[in-house]
């Protein structure tokens, strides 16, 4: 079992690379959720401003 984790002398490199890859796979969906929320909020803000502008032009 120890040899499995040691990976022929390359264990530190391999396991750190695996850890970084796992971290990035977790962070990617999280950042996408936050970005999506931000984009939706910006679209709502733009729509609200456009509606106000159109209402002001009518009056």
Q: For residues 32 and 27, what is the distance between their CA atoms, to the nearest angstrom?
A: 9
Can you tell me whether residue 20 is helix, strand or coil? helix
Can you tell me whether residue 38 is helix, strand or coil? helix
Predicted confidence (pLDDT) per residue in 4-53, tens digit: 888 888 999 999 999 999 999 999 999 999 999 999 999 999 999 999 99
Contacts of 5 (CB under 8 A, 6+ apart): 11, 15
Residue 1 — pLDDT band, cuts 50, 70, 90? confident
pTM over 0.75: no
Domain boundaries defined on the chain: 27-59
């Amino acid at each position: 079992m120890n040899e499995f984790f040691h990976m022929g002398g390359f264990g530190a490199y391999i396991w750190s690379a695996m850890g970084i890859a796992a971290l990035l796979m977790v962070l990617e969906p999280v950042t996408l959720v936050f970005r999506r929320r931000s984009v939706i909020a910006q679209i709502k803000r733009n729509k609200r401003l456009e509606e106000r502008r159109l209402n002001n032009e009518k009056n």
